[in-house]
């Protein structure tokens, strides 16, 4: 739509507005906008002072009849006269001319009356005295006005640089300013016009007179954009003070000087939100879910505004339905509990919303948790995050966990369990909703917390979610916000190292909150005091000089000078006034701490005393803690309820529910530092002692607080022997509470503190307490698995072995000693230690074990288990003999390490365990012994069917056990990865390892978790899963083994090499180290050096696998030779038999030697037995062996039938890779027999199937072979002949 414009002179526009019925407010706002247009046109046209006349200004409006309407002013022009001199513009003269023009504009041309300029007297409106809401004496003093003082008295303090001196003023200027004020115009406009009119007088010119037109434009723009602040004067001092928001609780939301930083944060937020709106890539087959995520870290000094930036973002997230977890660390509270409490509070808030989005997000989150961990895991999560139980009312029961052990025989198991639970919980939240995790003051987070959180950010896609989960896509995502004080963290410390590692795996942004500049402080002062920036610049200079731009310091400094009447609101001047000279004399030697200290010292003593108690307790306190304090013990009365309420009103504290916290940690430090150092320790002792009197009724949170208080003082105050022992008992109790919530690092510190309070004499005088403290200290070191854990753990164990009064008192220490040896790969000494303990328990084992003894034990096992059923075993009594229970534990430990180091012990130990169970009753270890028996029957008795039945019986009994999760993790290698895949469809057997991985991580058993993932990956290879997915899963496994420093596992993953070779053309020829995986020979060296038969077997099998797929049969024959006569049936022995059989038939055809044909037939016989166990898994392989046998024998018709049958069987049972293999061997058969075209067709089909499998390297190798058997190639040869 085209809008018609009408030119109107400025004077006509003013006259029109003066005679119209618009309000004074409308006219003023229109005049300000018009004045901005005029100054911009003057600058654009470079107009001289002689051109800046009202007669030369043309206003273009859309309707000449309503020209005064602001919305209809379109533009402004300045008419240029031909006789005006050219050259540079004299800005001062131009400003003066502009001042006269603005005087006409804002006065509505009343200034043109000569009698006004000659000094005609006008009665000024009576302003009166300051009107304070509520007549508060305190408010009057806060503004710098004594009660009853008149306005004329306060105006004597007006800033000399901001109030034009009468010595420098002219009659014209004073008259214009007074005249405009009498017309009711705002101070900002009066001052603007006044300073413009003074611009041309060098002699009597004030400091604030304009010098450049651009300054005028900037001020007019500010007035135009913020009309409410600058065009309507405050006349009430109380209202003016409120508008600054300096003394309001919580202040305002404005962030000055942080625009760029806020943009960086919001951009990261928007990127995560945008990516999460796209359908997430959930790979059902690998159980890996891709989630958009970013991290932003904010650094700066204390008080630099880091927290304010984070609050700004989290506030926006809450408005946008993000799941927000707010965590602020402090010096005293356990960092891990800070995060868990933050998650708990967020979930509590989650239930307060009933929006469709939150209901949907809750459903996804709970479904993800349910499918990732079992009931025991959910119970553990609900202990850590109590409100989570509201999602699982029919499942969660934390009482089920009472008495459950920590970890599963691996050092660091508890820490690993906690790590995994956190990963599952956070990823489940992310699947259902966008999550922002806000971690403030990370400099106070411990190594464990930093490691768990930042490792999760980089490995979130590796957290395995069960493939059974119905949620395949959503709107999830994760933004991590972290802040830390840059001067309180080391560049090579834990936090910075983890941040650097994190930046290598995802997008990480860094923000540094430096001090505010003078310009930024000026922006803030102008906005808060409602004074144009030009007039606050002098105050900004002083504030910046005193505070160095630290935002918190700036705020406290302003509050201080208002309180001390150095910055006050003048009703007469209708603005805030100050004196820079007075402000400049202020001396602040200790920064914001000094200001806060002065502020605190004037508080009532009762309030200050309560604040000191809170500061001694930490940055926050629950009212329940105050209720249990013994005031007689403290030595003074606490009116805490009233005092805390006053503290909130004064802006010193914030209240959330029953918790009070300081508004800033600097404030807490200032309060605490008011207490002399010696009295600090005494106060901690008084508080701790007061709480210890009620230790029997204290909730866990207050037990920890009491222990913390005593830890802060017991090294600095004199304690009686009785006090030392009581404090040691308190530390033991606090440590146990911490362990129950998986706060293992906190527990370690409590136990360490308890031990430090004891002496060697206490082994005699307080034996039970001392023994328990040493045992718990050793246990938590084992669970935690820190770098220094070994030395501390060993030291504790040595003390126990030295001072234990009875052999039984050292049982727990012996178990930890054995687990420590096993965790470090010292299997030989671990087994020897177990045997030594068992010998003292009356359970001796022969020193020399041979195959005959092993076979004898297996025969007994088969007889014993022949009639055992689930109902039969359930009727047996529980084992109660403590000696036998202990022996069963140590025999169970032996089997942990015997699988790899001394496998012939397995049938002997499992035999003894089963006999003891049948004689003395069953226990948890009996079920593991039963599974070991099944493993032994398979491995040493060559009876897979019986061994499978026995192991299946053990699995069924374990499912009935309350601690089934911990027990099932022990079956990863001996049952799930050994006997089970022989009988059950291998595809379904593979999926079990997803749940097993989760369960192993849940109990902290990283070793078996890694084996679960390894079996999951390897079985993926053996069932013909897409090799690209298998390779990705292997890559994740490599990263995990590096993370957990599982070097044996890293060496064993040579199947990754096979996968890469089949994927990548040309890799095999180079045979160099791939992705840091060692060569086969290097792994064999490791296996020989460590006497690890298990590892040696797997590296040989994996090399056979690689050679087999490339039809390199000679190395296979050499590798198989040492295993052909072995009586042991190792895991995947059937694969070796298959590779050996195919290779041997090939050799038999090539050499004509009966030896090779005989080996091949033995393999056919073996596979015939295997197929009886599972037709689904093995039929196609047997058919292929039989086809090769018939081909070798010359029975070609039978061979062709068997080849076709093998192809169809592999296709029917979904073994894509073995279908390709059968096609390839069938094609080679045809080619060898001179039927090139038939052979070519089968090879083409094989090539297609290999490509579908993703075996591009194998496909390339086959294509090279096919180039020699191409029928066209043979036709050319015949033509040449």
DSSP string, 249-311: TT--S--TT-HHHHHHHHHHHHHHHHHHTSPP-EETTTTEE---EEEEEEEE-TTSSHHHHHH
d(CA 1069, CA 1074) in angstroms, rounded, equals 12
Question: What is the reported pLDDT for 241?
Answer: 87
- CB-based contacts of 594: which residues, under 8 Å, 6+ apart? 588
Of 939, 942, 877, 943, nearest in space to 908 by CA: 939
- CB-based contacts of 709: which residues, under 8 Å, 6+ apart? 616, 617, 684, 685, 687, 688, 691
Burial state string for 1241-1259 with b = 16 or more CB within 10 A and e = fewer than 16:
bbbebbbebbbebbbbbbb
Helix or strand (DSSP H, E) at 659 = strand 659-662
Locate tokens 């025999």: which residue? 891
d(CA 654, CA 643) in angstroms, rounded, equals 13
d(CA 283, CA 606) in angstroms, rounded, equals 63
Helix or strand (DSSP H, E) at 985 = none
Q: Are 843 and 803 in contact (CB under 8 A)?
A: no
Spell out where 464-601 has E strands. Answer: 477-485, 508-513, 567-570, 575-578
Q: What parts of the chain have a pLDDT lower than 50?
A: 1, 67, 70, 114-174, 279-288, 398-408, 466-473, 1067-1075
Question: What is the reported pLDDT for 159?
Answer: 39
Q: Are 1134 and 1172 in contact (CB under 8 A)?
A: no
* Joined tokens for residue 750: 């409590």
Sign of CA pseudo-dihedral 112, 117, 122, 125 = positive
Alpha helices in 548-676 (DSSP H): 551-563, 580-584, 591-601, 605-617, 623-628, 631-634, 640-649, 665-673
**What are the backbone angles phi and psi of residue 411, rounded to the nearest 5°?**
-60, 135
CA atoms within 13 A on the CB side of 845: 28
Question: What is the reported pLDDT for 393?
Answer: 78
Q: Are 333 and 619 in contact (CB under 8 A)?
A: yes
* Joined tokens for residue 271: 């990127």
Report CA-CA distances (Å) from 1230 to 389, 1111, 1211, 1223, 1239.
Answer: 66, 17, 21, 11, 5
Is pTM, for the whole model, over 0.85? Answer: no
Q: Are 698 and 706 in contact (CB under 8 A)?
A: yes
Q: State the distance between the two ends of the chain, measured CA to CA, in whole angstroms.
A: 89
Indicate the pairing of strand 282-283 with strand 288-289: antiparallel
Of 342, 337, 329, nearest in space to 444 by CA: 329
Of 848, 856, 929, nearest in space to 894 by CA: 929
* Joined tokens for residue 1171: 């197929």
d(CA 594, CA 27) in angstroms, rounded, equals 49
d(CA 939, CA 906) in angstroms, rounded, equals 10
Q: Are 777 and 739 in contact (CB under 8 A)?
A: no
* Number of alpha helices (DSSP H) and beta strands (DSSP E) in the chain: 63, 15
């Amino acid at each position: 739509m085209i809008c018609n414009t009408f030119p109107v002179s400025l004077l006509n526009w003013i006259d029109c507005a003066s005679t119209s019925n618009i309000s004074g407010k409308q006219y003023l706002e229109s005049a300000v906008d018009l004045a901005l247009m005029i100054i911009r046109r003057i600058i654009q046209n470079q107009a001289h002072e002689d051109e800046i006349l009202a007669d030369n200004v043309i206003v273009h409006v859309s309707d000449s009849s309503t020209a005064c309407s602001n919305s209809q002013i379109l533009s402004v022009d300045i008419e240029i006269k031909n006789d005006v001199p050219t050259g540079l513009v004299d800005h001062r003269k131009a400003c003066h001319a502009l001042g006269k023009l603005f005087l006409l504009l804002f006065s509505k041309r009343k200034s043109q009356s000569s009698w006004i300029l000659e000094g005609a007297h006008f009665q000024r409106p009576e302003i009166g005295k300051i009107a304070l809401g509520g007549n508060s004496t305190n408010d009057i003093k806060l503004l710098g006005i004594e009660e009853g003082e008149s306005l004329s008295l306060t105006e004597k303090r007006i800033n000399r640089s901001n109030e034009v001196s009468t010595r420098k003023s002219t009659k014209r200027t004073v008259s214009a300013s007074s005249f405009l004020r009498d017309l009711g115009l705002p101070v900002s406009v009066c001052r603007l016009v006044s300073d413009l009119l003074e611009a041309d007088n060098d002699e009597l010119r004030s400091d604030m007179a304009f010098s450049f037109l651009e300054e005028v434009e900037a001020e007019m723009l500010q007035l135009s954009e913020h009309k409410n602040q600058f065009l309507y004067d405050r006349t009430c001092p109380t209202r003016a003070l409120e508008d600054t928001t300096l003394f309001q609780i919580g202040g305002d939301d404005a962030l000055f000087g942080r625009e760029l930083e806020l943009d960086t944060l919001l951009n990261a937020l928007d990127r995560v939100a945008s990516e999460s709106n796209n359908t997430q890539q959930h790979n059902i087959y690998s159980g890996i879910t891709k989630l958009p995520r970013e991290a932003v870290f904010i650094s700066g000094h204390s008080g630099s505004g880091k927290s304010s930036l984070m609050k700004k973002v989290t506030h926006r997230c809450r408005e946008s339905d993000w799941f927000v977890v707010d965590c602020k660390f402090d010096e005293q509270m356990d960092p891990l509990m800070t995060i868990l409490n933050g998650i708990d509070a967020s979930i509590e808030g989650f239930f307060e919303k009933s929006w469709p989005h939150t209901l949907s997000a809750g459903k996804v989150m709970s479904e993800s948790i349910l499918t990732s961990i079992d009931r025991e895991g959910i119970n553990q999560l609900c202990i850590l995050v109590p409100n989570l139980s509201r999602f699982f009312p029919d499942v969660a029961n934390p009482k089920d966990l009472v008495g459950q052990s920590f970890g599963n025989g691996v050092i660091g198991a508890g820490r690993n369990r906690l790590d995994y639970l956190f990963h599952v919980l956070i990823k489940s939240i992310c699947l259902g909703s966008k999550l922002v995790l806000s971690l403030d003051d990370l400099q106070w987070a411990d190594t464990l917390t930093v490691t768990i959180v930042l490792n999760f950010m980089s490995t979130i896609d590796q957290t395995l979610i069960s493939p059974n989960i119905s949620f395949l896509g959503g709107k999830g995502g994760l933004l991590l916000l972290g802040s830390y004080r840059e001067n309180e963290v080391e560049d090579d410390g834990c936090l910075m190292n983890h941040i650097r590692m994190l930046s290598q795996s995802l997008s990480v942004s860094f923000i540094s909150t430096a001090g505010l500049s003078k310009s930024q402080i000026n922006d803030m002062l102008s906005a808060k005091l409602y004074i144009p920036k030009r007039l606050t610049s002098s105050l900004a200079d002083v504030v910046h000089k005193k505070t160095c731009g630290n935002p918190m310091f700036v705020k406290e400094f302003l509050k201080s000078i208002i309180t001390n009447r150095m910055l006050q609101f003048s009703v007469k001047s209708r603005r805030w006034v100050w004196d820079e000279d007075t402000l400049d004399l202020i001396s602040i030697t200790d920064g914001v701490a000094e200001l806060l200290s002065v502020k605190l010292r004037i508080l009532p003593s009762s309030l200050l005393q309560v604040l000191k108690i809170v500061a001694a307790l930490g940055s926050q306190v629950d009212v329940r803690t105050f209720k249990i304090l013994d005031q007689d013990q403290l030595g003074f009365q606490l009116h805490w309820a009233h005092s805390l309420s006053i503290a909130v009103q004064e802006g010193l504290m914030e209240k959330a529910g029953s918790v009070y916290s300081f508004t800033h940690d600097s404030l807490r430090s200032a309060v605490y530092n008011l207490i002399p150092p010696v009295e600090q320790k005494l106060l901690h002792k008084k508080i701790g002692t007061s709480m210890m009197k009620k230790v029997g009724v204290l909730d866990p949170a207050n037990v920890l607080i009491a222990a913390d208080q005593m830890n802060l003082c017991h090294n600095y105050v004199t304690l009686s022997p009785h006090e030392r022992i009581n404090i040691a008992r308190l530390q033991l109790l606090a440590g146990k509470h911490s362990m129950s919530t998986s706060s293992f690092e906190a527990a370690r510190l409590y136990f360490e503190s308890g031990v430090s309070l004891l002496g060697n004499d206490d082994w005699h005088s307080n034996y039970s307490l001392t023994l328990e403290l040493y045992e718990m200290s050793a246990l938590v070191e084992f669970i935690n698995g820190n770098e220094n854990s070994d030395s501390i753990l060993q030291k504790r164990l040595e003390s126990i072995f030295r001072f234990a009064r009875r052999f039984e008192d050292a049982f727990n220490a012996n178990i930890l000693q054995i687990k420590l040896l096993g965790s470090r790969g010292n299997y030989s000494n671990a087994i020897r230690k177990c045997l030594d303990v068992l010998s003292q328990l009356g359970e001796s084992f022969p020193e020399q074990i041979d195959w005959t003894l092993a076979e004898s034990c297996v025969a007994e096992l088969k007889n014993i288990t022949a009639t055992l059923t689930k109902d039969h075993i359930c009727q047996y009594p529980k084992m109660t003999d403590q000696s036998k229970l202990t022996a069963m534990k140590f025999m169970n430990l032996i089997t942990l390490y015997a699988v790899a180091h001394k496998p012939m012990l397995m049938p002997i130990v499992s035999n003894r365990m089963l006999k003891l169970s049948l004689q003395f009753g069953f226990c948890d270890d009996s079920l593991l012994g039963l599974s070991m028996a099944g493993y032994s029957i398979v491995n040493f008795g060559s009876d897979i069917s019986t061994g499978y039945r026995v192991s299946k019986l053990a699995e069924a009994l374990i499912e009935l056990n309350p601690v089934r999760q911990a027990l099932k993790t022990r079956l990863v290698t001996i049952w799930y990865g050994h006997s089970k895949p022989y009988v059950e469809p291998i595809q379904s057997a593979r999926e079990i390892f997803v749940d097993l991985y989760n369960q192993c991580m849940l109990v902290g058993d990283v070793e078996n978790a890694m084996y679960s993932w390894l079996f999951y990956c390897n079985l993926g290879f053996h069932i013909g899963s897409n090799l690209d997915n298998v390779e990705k899963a292997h890559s994740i496994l490599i990263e995990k083994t590096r993370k957990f420093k599982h070097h044996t596992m890293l060496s064993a993953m040579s199947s990754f090499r096979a996968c890469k070779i089949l994927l990548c053309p040309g890799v095999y020829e180079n045979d160099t180290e791939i992705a840091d995986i060692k060569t086969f020979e290097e792994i064999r060296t490791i296996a020989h050096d460590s006497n690890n038969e298990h590892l040696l077997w797997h590296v040989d099998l994996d090399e056979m696998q690689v050679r087999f797929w490339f039809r390199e049969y000679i190395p296979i024959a050499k590798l198989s030779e040492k295993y052909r006569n072995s009586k042991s049936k190792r895991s995947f022995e059937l694969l070796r038999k298959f590779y050996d059989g195919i290779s041997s038939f090939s050799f038999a055809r090539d050499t004509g030697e009966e030896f090779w044909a005989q080996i091949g037939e033995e393999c056919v016989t073996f596979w015939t037995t295997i197929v009886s166990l599972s037709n689904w898994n093995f039929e196609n392989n047997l058919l292929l062996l039989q086809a090769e046998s018939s081909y070798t024998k010359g029975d070609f018709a039978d061979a062709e039938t068997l080849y076709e049958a093998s192809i169809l069987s592999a296709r029917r049972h979904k073994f894509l890779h073995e279908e390709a293999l059968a096609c390839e061997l069938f094609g080679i058969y045809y080619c060898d027999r001179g039927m090139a075209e038939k052979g070519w067709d089968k090879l083409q089909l094989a090539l297609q199937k290999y490509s579908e499998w993703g075996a591009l390297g194998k496909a390339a190798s086959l294509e090279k072979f096919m180039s020699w058997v191409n029928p066209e190639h043979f036709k050319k040869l015949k033509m040449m002949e």
